[in-house]
Amino acid sequence: MRRNIVAGNWKSNQLFSQADELINDIAEKLRNFDSTDVDVIVCPPFPYLELVSDAAEDVEFFVGAQNVSKFDNGAYTGEVSAAMLQSMNIDYCIVGHSERRKYFFETNRDVAEKVDRLLKVDINPIVCVGELLEEREEGRHFDVIRSQVSEGLFHLSKDQITKVILAYEPVWAIGTGKTATKDQAQEMHAFIRGLIADKYSDDVAQDVSILYGGSCNAKNARELFAQPDVDGGLIGGASLKHEDFIEIACSF
Ligand code: 13P
């Protein structure tokens, strides 16, 4: 059965001392947290993975990276391989975030390759999909999401796809304060689940967690998470404020 998940994507934020303070505050709040209903994941920048992993040792939360190389270990200056993440016991890794698609020209094919690298070393990919504002305005949002999901993931086996978490992040909602309405989120999440059901089976589709991301905050999380196909959130800005992040994690 799929899990509820709240994942914090710190993006390229926080200096070391700020990251230290933030994760200590989060860990403190999570110390007495009942994690029966939700898995909490924190995804800091690469240099802070060890810091966050250390904090996760005696508190119940998981650690994720924000990106992974599509190459194996080797002469790829500046890259971080899946094997390196595995060697640090990283549990999850975000793939295909719209900021990586926009600024680093990542394609659906890159997403597929990165997902393969991660699954090979038992790291669960958190695969982001989402349409641009003009794509929605032109009524192409379902086509865009269909391509991103099928080209990024539909080479996987049944067993592999259930290890993937999807995150629907409409690009127009990211960092803008323009959250998707609960109906817009539910409509797209149900569409994504339907794609998985068509390709694999209903049972498989019911096992895949689909998170919403894009100006999700402590005020709107409860309403979004109450939708039947919204299994939690991928949180940007609000994950940098420990009180807001924890409140979001308590929104089921
Ligand atoms: P915001 O929550 O800041 O809109 O960012 C969402 C996001 O991109 C998470 O990956």
C-alpha 75 – ligand 1 centre gap (Å) = 32
Q: Of 224, 113, 244, give the one whose Cα is nearest residue 170.
A: 224
Cα(25)–Cα(30) distance, integer angstroms: 9
Query: Considering Cα of 168, then 172, then 176, then 182, what sign does the dihedral take?
Result: negative
* Tokens 């999850």 -> residue: 92
C-alpha 95 – ligand 1 centre gap (Å) = 14
C-alpha 99 – ligand 1 centre gap (Å) = 10
Q: Of 93, 70, 130, 79, give the one whose Cα is nearest residue 9.
A: 93
Q: Specify the amino acid at residue 231.
A: D
The secondary structure element, H or E, covering residue 42 is strand 39-43
Percent of the chain's residues with pLDDT above 70? 100
**Mean of the per-residue pLDDT values of the chain:** 97
Pocket residues: Cβ below 6 A from ligand 1: 9, 97, 169, 174-175, 213-216, 234-238
CATH topology of domain 5-249: TIM Barrel (3.20.20)
For the chain, domain boundaries: 5-249
Q: Which residues pair with 93 in a beta bridge?
A: 65, 125
Residue nearest to atom 5 of ligand 1 (CA): 236
Residue nearest to atom 1 of ligand 1 (CA): 236
Q: pLDDT, tens digit, for every residue of 90-139?
A: 999 999 999 999 999 999 999 999 999 999 999 999 999 999 999 999 99
Cα(7)–Cα(249) distance, integer angstroms: 9
Q: Indicate which atom in ligand 1 lies nearest the CA of residue 174.
A: 4
The pLDDT, as a whole number, for residue 157 is: 98
Residue nearest to atom 2 of ligand 1 (CA): 236
Which of the four pLDDT bands, split at 50, 70 and 90, describes residue 77? very high
Prediction pTM value? 0.98
Q: Specify the amino acid at residue 62.
A: F
Percent of the chain's residues with pLDDT above 90? 96
The pLDDT, as a whole number, for residue 58 is: 87
DSSP alpha helix (H) spans, the chain: 16-30, 49-55, 82-87, 98-103, 108-120, 133-137, 141-153, 158-161, 182-199, 202-207, 221-225, 242-249
> Which residues are tagged catalytic?
97, 169
Q: pLDDT, tens digit, for every residue of 39-65?
A: 999 999 999 999 999 999 989 899 999
DSSP string, 181-228: PHHHHHHHHHHHHHHHHHHS-HHHHHHS-EEE-SS--TTTHHHHHTST
